[in-house]
Structure 1
């Protein structure tokens, strides 16, 4: 709260945002304005809903404070900016950005809302520093629909790689210390993103598809075709970093590739480009990465950067499981951006506290280091002493049932009118 208090001029939203953050960290069975307001001791969710929808504060300013908080505690010149998207399953058609689209959350095409996120992955820890809501063309081509959801008039259609490029540039322009960018195939196959990073002389290890065309002296060939020609001596067994079950060992090979015509025209694009190939030890399955480095680096460095990409999956899991990143029940543009930035701030608090604990304490034999999950548990039970009386709990029971009764009656009236 010390980092963001200045963004709230009035005392009421400043106090309420503190209670909101406590609610996000409270381990509630469901996290929404109703449950957070009840946990905060308020008589109705109106105040929390007002905080998200109408109160005078700027989510972008809080985003800048979040970025400063993370960098202040985790700063690392060799850090990796990791970009990826995640989907939140939704019902109906009125929630901003929702449509039937593929989402990795479900592993199939579902009615979902997709956000693109940026994680700062340093040696000491990792946390979110930015996000952007993906608006499909089914929204941007319907101004009335966008207006009803509160989408600003200047927001136009942008692909997920374009959103990622904006967030990365914003972070670099703000002086975030980082040397690398990592991402999956959605971002690795986007030439504009790769070119933009080369212009900034920022190294990248971006996944690409097996049929991604790679320029060689003998012409362009699919990545999988080049991998088939690699001799046995080209492979090196290296760890991509430690996971939940130990080190992630793979066989790796590096194929140097010449700078293609497009990249050669980029000012300041001098550097090394390569195709990094990963082979599973157990199944032999291949994965491919386009790499760029302003100066030559060893294979182990590229492998380590590729391994850092998984930190964003860990952040999604922690953000959704510990701070309600995906549990927002909001429909409008401004409410989505406000909810996500506060959930990211709560997650950053846990991530930074865990990193600080690991740095300041010696490992204890027989114990793992403090995790974000354990810190959230300790914080909730030791520091947050919010306890409510039976009348307060009964009041909320009546409030919920009364609201649900009104919603039921409205649905029945609408259904009757449609049948008539």
Structure 2
């Protein structure tokens, strides 16, 4: 089938997509790319269990998948403007002082040996060590509305130490320099702030939070943050003092030894906190919190660190008996409920990862190249943003804007260390329960009457919120 006929046949299934994509088309350059990008997105948004090139081309009625392959994998054009436009559109949808930027990673199981970045490492999708690709993800979210804005491949040492292997996979030379996931995340954060992304708090799990360099990087950017840590993180009391050196000592030393986070919190009172309503009732756990100074300052002797900045140490005691530990530089007057709500807001990124994989085919890409993987990831993020646009369009049609309600559980904060670009000052307050995410708009019934659009949109949305289109 000719390209024009294929697009005409599928245009009714995603009516409005071309209009919404206009800002992306404006920065895409050549007409051929402006033609193939909407078609690739229709392939991702359409029905079918597999969203790799050949099945998508077949469902779109194309005679082959070569042109789709060229569009998605060609290094001849720069997709940076598309990532910047995605950040602008995400900011328009859910950005603002009540938004949070969630840093995490997501794994794509892959048994191949030539696909870029594949190595034996922890795979969250399988819950164990396995061959996979690991992507550092950044998600802008407000309440229960996440929009992925960054996916960047982490290259394990097995790749960065093999220049020939990287060259065969088309890895750009700057990307072959070994970098930790935290360093990648900070670099992506800089990119997003340069694009004008606005948010109030950065959230991350212990995979990032254990790194003092990562936390210091957030501080250097003037950002508020809440991150997971391990139970044996060294902690000083908030009133610790540095005493002058004695004897042969050359540096001031703390007047007491640090303790492990677990031990510090064990002495406190743990109180039950509810941070938001869930589909099966209120979400709650017991929390303890205290102001402390982290043991991540300069080394003063015997590989021991001086006290760092004054922060919150927070413990979570779940109903299962499991305990989790966190650090946050939210202001000292932040309430326990606001602290816990901010910390728990991180989980919204898991919903975004699930939709990207299960509904939009993030993990279905079968190419081997660096460019192909990142561009496919970009297109899945754009498709996800479009679906969130549809949901919020109905939200606003019923008379509520994106900022009428605070994020579910996320604490708004004030007086950041420095006023970073794209970073808002807001007042400290306890959150109110967020209203449910709206169902798909009935007004789109005619545009979404085809089976393909209805199926994909219903499956992408939270089943508890779906209103089937008759």
User: How does the TM-score come out when normalised to structure 2?
Assistant: 0.74
Contact kept? 1:273, 1:293, Cα under 8 Å: yes
After TM superposition, the structure 1 = structure 2 runs for residues 368-387 of structure 1, keeping only pairs within 5 Å, are: 370=438, 381-382=449-450
Query: Which residue of the partner structure matches residue 226 of structure 1?
Result: 264
Q: Which of 216, 221, 241 does residue 200 from structure 1 map onto?
A: 221
1:309 match: secondary structure: helix
1:43 and 2:67 matched: no
- Over 3 Å counting, the alpha-carbon distance change for 1:204 and 1:55 in structure 2 is closer
Q: CA deviation at 1:82?
A: 0.3
- Over 3 Å counting, the alpha-carbon distance change for 1:375 and 1:213 in structure 2 is farther
Query: Which residue of the partner structure matches residue 86 of structure 1?
Result: 106
1:150 match: secondary structure: coil
Contact kept? 2:100, 2:142, Cα under 8 Å: yes
Counterpart CA distance in 2 for 1:374 and 1:311 is: 26
Query: Which residue of the partner structure matches residue 418 of structure 1?
Result: none
Counterpart CA distance in 2 for 1:142 and 1:73 is: 41
Query: Which residue of the partner structure matches residue 112 of structure 1?
Result: 132
Decide which moves more: 209-218 or 139-148: 209-218
After TM superposition, the structure 1 = structure 2 runs for residues 4-403 of structure 1, keeping only pairs within 5 Å, are: 4-54=24-74, 56-123=76-143, 125-155=145-175, 156-216=177-237, 217=240, 218-230=256-268, 234-258=269-293, 262=297, 272-280=310-318, 282-293=319-330, 296-361=333-398, 370=438, 381-382=449-450
Q: CA deviation at 1:370?
A: 4.2
1:172-222 C-alpha deviation (Å, 9 max, x unpaired): 333322121111111110111111111222111101112222223342222
- Over 3 Å counting, the alpha-carbon distance change for 1:246 and 1:385 in structure 2 is closer
Q: CA deviation at 1:126?
A: 1.6
Counterpart CA distance in 1 for 2:438 and 2:447 is: 12
Q: CA deviation at 1:355?
A: 2.7
Counterpart CA distance in 2 for 1:182 and 1:284 is: 23
- Over 3 Å counting, the alpha-carbon distance change for 1:137 and 1:385 in structure 2 is closer
Q: CA deviation at 1:325?
A: 1.4
Contact kept? 1:118, 1:131, Cα under 8 Å: yes
Contact kept? 1:80, 1:180, Cα under 8 Å: yes
1:306 match: secondary structure: helix
Counterpart CA distance in 1 for 2:441 and 2:106 is: 21
Query: Which residue of the partner structure matches residue 415 of structure 2?
Result: none
Counterpart CA distance in 2 for 1:260 and 1:385 is: 53
Q: Report the count of equivalent residues.
A: 375
- Over 3 Å counting, the alpha-carbon distance change for 1:272 and 1:286 in structure 2 is same
Counterpart CA distance in 1 for 2:99 and 2:135 is: 23
Decide which moves more: 6-15 or 327-336: 6-15
Q: CA deviation at 1:256?
A: 0.9
Structure 2: where are the runs of 5+ without partners?
1-20, 241-255, 300-307, 401-435, 455-470
Q: CA deviation at 1:379?
A: 6.8
